[in-house]
Amino acid sequence: MKLLVVGASYRTAPVATLEQLTVAPADLTRTLDRLVAQPYVAEAVLVSTCNRVEVYAAVSGFHGGLGDICAVLAEQAGAPPAALANHLYVHYDAAAVDHVFRVAAGLDSMVVGEAQILGQLRDAYHWASGADSAGRLLHELMQQALRVGKRAHAETNIDRAGQSVVTAALDLAAGLLDGDLTGRPAMVVGAGAMGSLGVATLSRLGAGPLTVTNRGADRAVRLAESYGASAVPMAELVDALCTVDIVVAATAATEPVLTRDVVTRALARRDADRGPLVLLDLAVPRDVAEGVAELAGVEVIDIDRMAAILADGPAAADAAEVTRIVTGEVEAFLSWLRGADVAPTVAALRGRADDVVTAELRRLVQRRPDFTDDQRAEVARTVHRVVQRLLHQPTVRVRQLAAEPGGDQYAALLRELFDLEVPQTSPVDTVPDVVETDAVGRPSFEVADVPVTEPDVSTGGAR
Q: Do residues 405 and 93 lie in contact, with contact meaning Cβ atoms separated by under 8 Å?
A: no
Among the options 50, 96, 165, 237, which is catalytic?
A: 50
Q: Do residues 454 and 462 lie in contact, with contact meaning Cβ atoms separated by under 8 Å?
A: yes
Q: Do residues 149 and 106 lie in contact, with contact meaning Cβ atoms separated by under 8 Å?
A: yes
Per-residue buried b or exposed e for 430-444, using 16+ beta carbons within 10 Å of the residue's own CB: ebeebeeeeeeebbb
DSSP for 205-253, written as a single string: TT--SEEEEESSHHHHHHHHHHTT-EEEEGGGHHHHHTT-SEEEE----
Establish whether 50 is a catalytic residue: yes
Burial class (CB in 10 A: 0-12, 13-18, 19+), 417: exposed
Nearest one of 98, 4, 129 to 57, comparing CA atoms? 4
Q: Do residues 184 and 274 lie in contact, with contact meaning Cβ atoms separated by under 8 Å?
A: no
Cα angle value 403/404/409 (rounded, 5°): 90
Residue 44 dihedral angles phi and psi, to the nearest 5°: -155, 140
Which positions ≥6 away from 310 have C-beta within 8 Å? 110, 111, 168
Distance CA 68, CA 43 (A): 12
Q: Any idea how long the chain is?
A: 463
- What is the separation of C-alpha 217 from the centre of its chain, rounded to a whole number of angstroms? 31
Distance CA 41, CA 413 (A): 28
Residues with a known catalytic role: 50
